[in-house]
Amino acid sequence: MRKLITAITGVVALAFSAMVVQAAEVTIGYQQIYNPWKVAIADGEFEKVTGYKINWKKFDSGAKVITAMASGDVHIALAGSSPIAAGVSRNLPIKLFWITENINDAEALVARNGSGVNSVKDLKGKKVGVPFVSTTHFHMLFALELEGMDPKEVNLLNMQPNAIAAAWERGDIDAAFVWDPALGRIKKSGKVLLTSGDLAKKGKATFDGMVVHNDFAKGNEKFMCQFVKTIAKADAAYRDNPDAFGGDSENAKKIVKLVGGEAKDVPGVLKLYDFPTLEQQASDTWLGGGKDGGAAKALFFTSEFLKKEKKVDALLPDYGAVVTDAYAKAALGGGC
């Protein structure tokens, strides 16, 4: 009888434990961007590693993601450095905890063939599609600034990526500053004027990053560490064997199934990005270093742009306070 009771107790305890795990739930927002961790989403790797039920929600812009986080509908999300800067500058209780990718040449300003646009200066009086309060909006205005142009001289249109691609094909716009897969579509009948990588060399970098709501982070430290390790593993798989993400690979097919576009375009797009390692994430290059760290500086410069555009009312005294390297360091040290 004692063995039976012990066995029953064990089963009940196991069942209770399973219920607790199943009750652990999180909503994570992602965007239509090609990156290695989309394969981990497709394979259910995050759920396997963490034991959490994960509700994945797709968004077509970082601005919409941040709005969803502000409403409490999303706990963790991918967004560009511009919408992240807007969120933290408005005192949204979120922290940047991972650099998904250094954008480099994966975002570009493209002029449509036949538009008569061959340089940034030629954009005067032209229609340019760009998702407002995005990383490309930030860099679009920086490009105009470098040329001594007033943004009012250009007809900047607030358009989401899918709308940009459609308007492009109709001939409704002359140029656009956007990312893939829309970028790949417009490049087929356009000329790249400059990339975000070109503008980063002028002193203002952009990135895509993961942010977490502070309330969720406080009670889910182990999950956060495991989540970071899973992304890092996916990035390492790409860095170690880019050929495994070729145009006819299963990995490429999994990515486009989530994001859209064509599998054959995936390898070319991934080459445009830089996916920082765990060591780089935790260093001053990105998440470390407090207000003098790379991510904090980028958020500061971007917030200056947003304030100038009257998208935020004030700047934070210290952007290092909204960046954390805790989970990257925990994952690096094997803490989870």
Which residues make Cβ contacts (< 8 Å) with residue 251, sequence separation at least 6? Answer: 36, 39, 244, 245, 266
| HEC string for 220-244 | CHHHHHHHHHHHHHHHHHHHHCHHH
Domain identity same for 276 and 136: no
Can you give the pLDDT at residue 20?
35
Boundaries of domain holding 11? 2-103+206-332
Domain identity same for 225 and 261: yes
Domain identity same for 222 and 97: yes
Can you give the pLDDT at residue 3?
32
Domain identity same for 40 and 79: yes
Can you give the pLDDT at residue 14?
36
User: What DSSP element (H or E) covers 12?
Assistant: helix 2-23
Can you give the pLDDT at residue 4?
31
The half-sphere exposure of 18 on its side-chain side, counting CA atoms within 13 A, is 6
Domain identity same for 153 and 178: yes
Asked if 126 and 117 count as a contact pair (C-beta separation under 8 A), the reply is: yes
Domain identity same for 91 and 221: yes
Asked if 107 and 135 count as a contact pair (C-beta separation under 8 A), the reply is: yes
Can you give the pLDDT at residue 23?
45
Q: Which phi and psi angles does 35 have, rounded to 5°?
A: -155, 155
Domain identity same for 194 and 257: no
Out of 200, 222, 246, a domain closes at: 200
Q: Among candidates 41, 200, 10, 233, which has minimal Cα distance to 106?
A: 200
Domain identity same for 242 and 157: no
- 111: which DSSP letter? E
- 323: which DSSP letter? B
Q: Is the pTM of this model over 0.75?
A: yes
Can you give the pLDDT at residue 125?
97
Domain identity same for 70 and 98: yes
Question: Domain with 64 in it: what CATH number?
Answer: 3.40.190.10
Residue 205: what residue type?
A: A
Can you give the pLDDT at residue 51?
96
| Domain count along the chain | 2
Domain identity same for 190 and 112: yes
Domain identity same for 168 and 232: no
Can you give the pLDDT at residue 100?
96
Distances (CA, A) of 158 to 31, 112, 122: 18, 17, 20
The half-sphere exposure of 166 on its side-chain side, counting CA atoms within 13 A, is 5
Out of 163, 181, 200, a domain closes at: 200
Can you give the pLDDT at residue 39?
97
Out of 165, 200, 235, a domain closes at: 200
Tens-binned pLDDT, residue by residue, of the chain (336 aa): 333 333 333 433 333 233 233 349 999 999 888 999 999 999 999 999 999 999 999 998 888 889 899 888 899 999 999 899 999 999 999 999 999 999 888 899 999 999 999 999 999 999 999 998 788 999 999 999 999 999 999 999 999 999 999 999 999 999 999 998 899 999 999 999 999 989 988 878 889 999 999 999 998 999 999 999 999 999 999 999 999 999 999 999 999 999 888 999 999 999 989 999 999 999 999 999 999 999 999 999 999 988 988 889 999 999 999 999 999 999 998 878
Domain identity same for 118 and 96: no
The alpha carbon of residue 329 and the mean position of all alpha carbons in its chain are separated, in whole angstroms, by 20
- 83: which DSSP letter? H
